[in-house]
Amino acid sequence: MIAAAGHLFRLARAGFVFAREGVLALADPEALPAPARLGLRVARLMERPSGEGASVRLSAALTRLGPTYVKLGQFLATRPDVVGPALARDLESLQDRMAPFPQGEAEAAVAGALGKPLPELYVSFGPAVAAASIAQVHKATVAARPRDGADPGPQAKEELDSRLRGDEREGAQTVAVKVLRPGIDRRLRSDLDTLYFAARNAERHSTEARRLRMVEVVDTLARSVTIEMDLRLEAAAIAEMRDNVRGDPDFRVPTVDWERTARGVLTLEWIDGTPLSNRVALEARGLDLPALGRALMQAFLRHALRDGFFHADMHPGNLFVDSEGRIVAVDFGIMGRLSPKERRFLAEILYGFITRNYYRTAEVHFEAGYVPPHHSVESFAQAIRAIGEPIHNRTAADISMAKLLTLLFEVTGLFDMKTRPELLLLQKTMVVVEGVARSFDRDLDMWATAEPVVREWVERHLGPAGRLEDVAQGAGEVGKFLGEVPSLLGRAARVTDQLDAATRDGLVLAPETVAAIGEAEARRSRWTTVALWVIAGLLGVVIWKLV
């Protein structure tokens, strides 16, 4: 009861903030029953005067409510199937920026998480350079290691320390230190409990809430936030992507300092580059901006198709250009994954539109199991053609792969295609990447840019070499099964011997089992006798009435 009262209080506060910020203007009163319409009108009397749009007010309300609601807004921006395309687009502008927490608290959190005094960990530890709802980032320096990775020894360490005193930093490496906000895990758990309470009650009383699977939405949000709350998992994502792109000429990922990384602290290489959001600085460096846009788009497609693992928050503030002209990504809190099946689905769809093979594109949907088999492939191909043909009659500047995927998902909804959250996250990220690329070249031909990456993947995985690999993999699975046959036969023989021993002289039951069976039989006999007497009595009454 106390917990429910706490949840109701927090929900009432959230409702007041939404009403005060004017978020309720987003609600359609015609879709509500009469009592709810009256309540909406009364609540809107609390709106503060503002010339801002409803979407800006929503962002302001979510920011006021705190970290969990900011993350909820960012998550819902990836789920247009839940909130609708218009609201999802508005939520994409939600900025996760908060006031930094005090320097002393940050230093204490780092020392506590790493189990050492701060001076033993960092040569210098500067103030926060960026602050978000869950963590903030500090610029720091650490003592440089010898190139061969060996221990420099006590004397060399003393010499290095002397060089690092004062303002001399020649022997130090600059790093970025991400620190979780103190107490954020307790705050998030409390807010998530309240959201679960609201979702369960909504599904209990609303058919629409059950259709939108509100509890499942909170489940997904909880998993996402849990991952972000353990910075070791973000470090692992960085390391995995760094391995994936090691040979790429135009994209790289920072190095993780694992010795200074824990659940609440992440230390990695400081990226000293030009942000993609600063067009003036990029032009001043003499960079080829259209080529930079093409490189970004191709890098994203390689990550999605080749690796099945992509950065899902590639806005310009998270992307830099280093001194060698390579794109460098930071902030790996949101990542997307595609299974081999989904990668094949994506590649064949894009390739089908590029080559105008709409029937094959339709077949891919059915082969992947995304469209139920009771629908017609021919009818689905016709619907896809209605999307693809207008694209080929437009100029390169009018062609948008992100818009194509959006239209495709809308059409597939007519054919009972179930929502695929991982594909929606891919589509949302593609919208952002395409927007950045077009900001550098408004006439960018997205299809010509994507074609080499998609064609390479198709030839590699769907051509003769890919088929040979499939055969080899299948042979490997068969070999693995055959290798396990002797073990399976051995286990079967042991089971057979045990059954034979158990039944050789008849089944022997434990005394307790015999007693339990006897009692059950006795109960059944008593009830059988009672039932027979009842039936006999009823028959007697019937006969007496007839006589």
Predicted local confidence at residue 236, as pLDDT: 95
Predicted local confidence at residue 307, as pLDDT: 93
Query: In 3D, which of 361, 348, 420 has the Cα closest to residue 389?
Result: 361
Distances in Å between the Cα of 298 and the Cα atoms of 93, 309, 347, 398, 499 are 24, 14, 13, 19, 62
DSSP states of 135-161 as a string?
EEEEEEEEEPPPTT----HHHHHHHHH
From 313, 331, 416, 505, active-site residue:
313
Q: What is the domain partition of the chain in residue ranges?
A: 2-96+186-226, 99-182+230-270, 274-462, 467-503, 509-547
Range of weakest confidence among 171-180, 254-263, 264-273, 468-477: 468-477
Tokens coding 241: 């992507």
Q: How confident is the model at residue 494 (pLDDT cuts 50, 70, 90)?
A: low
Is residue 202 within 8 Å of 214, Cβ to Cβ? yes
Distances in Å between the Cα of 125 and the Cα atoms of 89, 114, 177, 255 are 38, 14, 9, 19
> Can you point out the beta strands (E) in 341-474?
none
Residue 313 falls in the annotated catalytic set: yes
DSSP states of 236-287 as a string?
HHHHHHHHHTTT-SSEE-PPB-GGG-BTTEEEEE---SEETT-HHHHHHTT-
Choice between 203 and 24, residue whose per-residue pLDDT is larger = 203
Does pLDDT of 433 surpass 60?
Answer: yes
- pTM comes to 0.70
Range of weakest confidence among 110-114, 210-214, 352-356: 210-214
Choice between 457 and 280, residue whose per-residue pLDDT is larger = 280
Could you tell me how far CA 297 lies from the centroid of its own chain?
Answer: 20
Collapsed DSSP state (helix, strand, coil) of residue 122: coil
Is residue 40 within 8 Å of 29, Cβ to Cβ? yes
CA atoms lying within 13 Å on the CB side of residue 536: 6
Cα distance between residue 445 and residue 145, in whole Å: 46
Predicted local confidence at residue 148, as pLDDT: 42
Predicted local confidence at residue 59, as pLDDT: 76
Choice between 510 and 408, residue whose per-residue pLDDT is larger = 408
Tokens coding 123: 């040569």
Choice between 390 and 361, residue whose per-residue pLDDT is larger = 361
Is residue 250 within 8 Å of 287, Cβ to Cβ? no
Q: How confident is the model at residue 491 (pLDDT cuts 50, 70, 90)?
A: low
Choice between 13 and 148, residue whose per-residue pLDDT is larger = 13
Arithmetic mean of pLDDT, 92-113:
86
Query: In 3D, which of 271, 272, 276, 287 has the Cα closest to residue 325?
Result: 287
Over the range 173-193, which residues count as b (16 or more CB within 10 Å of their CB) and which as e? bbbbbbbbbbebbebbeebbb
Is residue 209 within 8 Å of 203, Cβ to Cβ? yes
